[in-house]
Structure 1
Amino acid sequence: MTSTALHTDRYELTMIDAALRAGVAERPAVFELFARRLPDGRRYGVVAGIGRLLDAIHDFRFTADELGWLKRNNVVSAEGLDWLEAYQFSGNIRGYREGELYFPGSPLLVVESGFAQGVVIETLALSILNYDTAVASAAARMVSAAQGRPLSEMGSRRTGEHSAIAAARAAYIAGFAATSNLEAGRRWGVPTMGTAAHAFTLLFPTEEEAFAAQVASLGPETTLLVDTYDIRQGVENAVRAAGTRLGAVRIDSGDLGVVVRDVRRQLDRLGATDTRITVTNDLDEHAIAALASAPVDAYGVGTSLVTGSGAPAAGMVYKLVARHDPDGTWKSVGKTSEGKATVGGRKHPVRALRDGTATSEDIHIDAAPTGITPETGRALHTELVRHGAPEPTALGPEGVTNAREHHARAITELPDDARRLSRGEPAIPTRYIEQGTPSGS
């Protein structure tokens, strides 16, 4: 186990230290992770990172190395160090399933534990879910724009080495078909793909020799990169090397809308009618949508995907929403500051449905709703951690597969106009419901 205990901000530990001195560190509390708004102009978001977070919470332990560093740097008191040494999350977490859609105010995670146990995982939860969700949300828009054509994630060179693995995982959950990242394949079961780069072609005296070498190694069904030199000649050389059984050609430059049509005509004329065309070249959802009528068979996406296509973080926050007072009662709490006010209380979200289509995000406060049927709505929270033990079906490659399947079901509930790439308001309104009375978000 590699500890994640210092994957946090200093003030999480200084709050614990102060709470211990005040005698309130173990006071029962409820924290909530949510986004006040969607990235500007987006109509929905996609939850990702839940399985990674559950792993990270399990590994959130303060070993001698972490405790020694904290002591040498006078971060917390001796009492605080003793508490951290014994730390193991033992509370409960419920939340949205990975792959689920979310909207402004959706309570994606509800953490119920002692104050100190819950507050110390704040930074960890936000750092994972803000990034993974941003990538999954961008990926879902690209999948929608691709209209059923497969997409591959190819962004490992455009982000940090750990983020690259997380991005591949999140994109796969949102509907991408494969990744170029091998560690994502090994760790999370994401299908991997890849053949050769321009460097391989440049290694040989001629392009045709390079193609022949690749075909000899990978077979004629491989994908040949045809734009190192002249694309038209590249296609000629590709078919000459692999024959009409050539699997695919990849194009990484030029005016793709024009080039792809020319290449399709050329392939057909050469008898390679089943050879597919894959395009890359700095694609985002808008570029993919612009190619909707072009004879493209597959897309490879890198930079735009791993940077959230303009929204590199999902804007989530983690707030205390309820505390258990000494008189034995629960008290809802929340900020009232301008522009950053929060709604207190335990939340129970329901996706309201009419004829299978989502109509609103109904967030019931304190009391769980009753009388919900499959025809009228769908409860969104599921148990993720019970007394410190994570839900096994959310973990590892199985968790990724489950999340991908859930996302494919959940996105069918969106209203038709929610998939438009143009800027717009959230696809459905968020309503807070207390004592049966709804109010707009």
Structure 2
Amino acid sequence: MNSADLGRRVGVPSTALFTDQYELTMVQAALKAGTADRRSVFEAFTRRLPEGRRYGVVAGTGRVLDAVENFHFDDEMLAFLRDQRVVDTATVDWLADYRFRGDIWGYPEGEVYFPGSPLLRVEGTFAECVLLETVILSILNHDSAIAAAASRMSSAASGRNLIEMGARRTHELSAVAASRAAYIGGFHTTSDLAAGFRYNIPTVGTSAHAFTLLHDSERDAFRAQVDSLGRDTTLLVDTYDVAEAVRTAVEIAGPELGAVRIDSGDLLLVAHRVRQQLDELGATETKIVVTSDLDEYAIASLAAAPVDAYGVGTQLVTGSGHPTCSMVYKLVARAESADPGEPLLPVAKKSLGAKTSRGGRKWAARRTDAYGVAEAEVIGTGEVPADLVDRQLQTELVRGGEVVAREPLEAARDRHVTARAGLPMSAMQLSRGEPVLPTEYV
């Protein structure tokens, strides 16, 4: 396994200020009260799935591990906190030596989840765990939202290639994370070179309308592209007249033309016409790529069209209408003192409304029926029932502050294929519905 398989982490900056101020002020108050070193358990979970979604997809775990590993305060950060009086001098001195030295367990990346699933369990002292809340949630909420949208699009595409091309529709750093999450969710390639460099995701891309408009004629543009990139390139054929462009493309590249891309118009109708024209011109192996503000519904509507690949941008990197998963990070258990071996007591928020939570250090397992199809997400505290021991979902990620579970991105991608295949068939329906699995607490 080489470094490219795991993602290039060289030059990763500290993540310590990717946090909210109240994380630090809580530490200050806990240090003063003598409660900062109490053994604590935090869990990340979501109380509900985005409206109409039937399952969620865990993504961002690998980035969380990097963030935890790089969560430390340098001299410049400490000076900022001191000068701005964010926290007092004693807390700044404590932060100077901060490294997470606890344990983290969680659902492996690519796994599916449901309401209440304890996706990440962080254990250590209160102070060291609470500081990680914001950065963990920002990563998991973003990446899991993108992966869920990608998974739905992948299901709708039924094996046809999917190209992630949303870099220009989001923040430049979010674009890289979105590409990674989309790859886990089932996309095959990305147009974003930073994502290709950092995560070894295959990259693709040829030309835009500007390249055609640069030249004196469409023929000149196609000739220049084929001369430079070869006959197996993808030519964009909807700058002017599609039928004329297809004819010109095949004249220049011959039947070896790799693909044509359609970016506007009635994609269903145009794709059928282009396929017929390509076949009549002898370019029977030339592929058709469609783009133009696609989402999972548009992809599904093109199921009967002779389309070989879909390029998706805006709707993907914005979670196809659900840009966050509404995950939260809650204290669920803590000791009454900092003494070693002190037992953990369940704690939980008891407020009115939908924001209550369940206390206790939780395990999670997925029960299946006689055919091996998942039928319930089972969550509990204490002893795991014998029939669920081998079906537990959480894996060890960090032990004593050391990452123990890095894996190639391909592993997360393959895991998602397996996890999704293990759900009831109704999980693949795009129509709105309830979570495909009930959550049972025992």
Select which of 380, 391, 397 maps to 2:404: 391
Match of 1:81 in 2: 92
1:257 is the counterpart of 2:268: yes
* Structure 1 Cα separation of the partners of residues 290 and 97 of structure 2: 53
Aligned to 1:67: 78
Q: Alignment partner of 1:214: what SS?
A: helix
Whether 2:388 is the aligned partner of 1:372: answer yes
- Equivalent in the alignment of 2:234: 223
Alignment partners' CA distance in 2, 1:263 and 1:206: 21
List runs of 5+ in structure 2 lacking aligned partners.
1-11
- Partner in structure 1 of residue 126 of structure 2: 115
Given candidates 420, 430, 433, the residue that maps to 1:411 is: 420
Query: What SS does the corresponding residue of 1:371 show, helix, strand or coil?
Result: helix
Matches within 5 A, 1:333-372: 333-338=347-352, 339-354=354-369, 355-372=371-388
Q: Distance in 2 between matches of 1:247 and 1:91?
A: 52
**In the TM superposition, what are the counterparts of 1:97-112 in structure 2 within 5 Å?**
97-112=108-123
Q: Distance in 1 between matches of 2:269 and 2:280?
A: 17
Farther-moved stretch of structure 1 (320-329 vs 206-215): 320-329
Partner of 2:7: none
Query: Match of 2:406, SS?
Result: helix
Q: Is it true that 1:382 corresponds to 2:398 in the alignment? A: no
Deviation at 1:289, TM superposition (A): 0.3
Question: Could you tell me the TM-score, scaled by structure 1's length?
Answer: 0.95
Between the aligned partners of 1:97 and 1:329, the Cα distance in structure 2 is 28
Distance in 2, matches of 1:391 and 1:284, equals 37
**2:180 pairs with one of 164, 169, 180:** 169
The one-letter amino acid paired with 2:234 is T
The amino acid that maps onto 2:382 is D
1:94–1:110: 8 Å Cα contact kept in structure 2?
A: yes
Amino acid corresponding to residue 164 of structure 1 in structure 2: A
Contact 1:348 1:369 in 2 (8 A): no
Answer whether contact 1:140 1:174 (CA < 8 A) is retained.
yes
The answer (yes or no) to whether the contact 2:39–2:344 under 8 Å persists in 1 is: no
Shift of 1:383: 0.3
The CA deviation string for residues 174-212 of structure 1, in whole angstroms up to 9 with x for no partner, is 110000011111111111111111111111100011111
CA distance in 2, matches of 1:369, 1:46: 25
Residue matched to 2:5: none
- Residues 57 and 112, structure 2, Cα contact 8 Å, conserved in 1: yes
In the alignment, what sits opposite 1:424? 433
Q: Which runs of 5+ in 1 are unaligned?
A: 434-441
Contact 1:201–1:207 (8 Å) recurs in 2: yes
Answering whether residue 59 of structure 2 is matched by residue 48 of structure 1, we say yes
Structure 1 residue identity aligned to 2:44 = L
Give the Cα separation in 2 of the matches to 1:393 and 1:343.
30
Matched, 1:283 2:298: no
Runs of 4+ in 1 over 6 A off after TM superposition: none
Partner of 2:8: none
SS at match of 1:241: helix
Distance in 2, Cα, partners of 1:373 & 1:331: 23
Q: How big is the alpha-carbon RMSD for the aligned residues of Structure 1 and Structure 2?
A: 1.0
Q: Contact 1:393 / 1:402 at 8 angstroms: preserved in 2? A: no
Task: Tell me the distance in 1 between the aligned counterparts of 2:386 and 2:22.
Answer: 40
Identical residues among aligned pairs (%): 58
Q: TM-score, normalised by structure 2?
A: 0.95
Cα distance in 1 for partners of 2:236, 2:32 equals 64
Contact 2:62 / 2:406 at 8 angstroms: preserved in 1?
Answer: no
Q: State the partner residue of 1:439.
A: none
Distance 2:62 2:426 in 1: 30
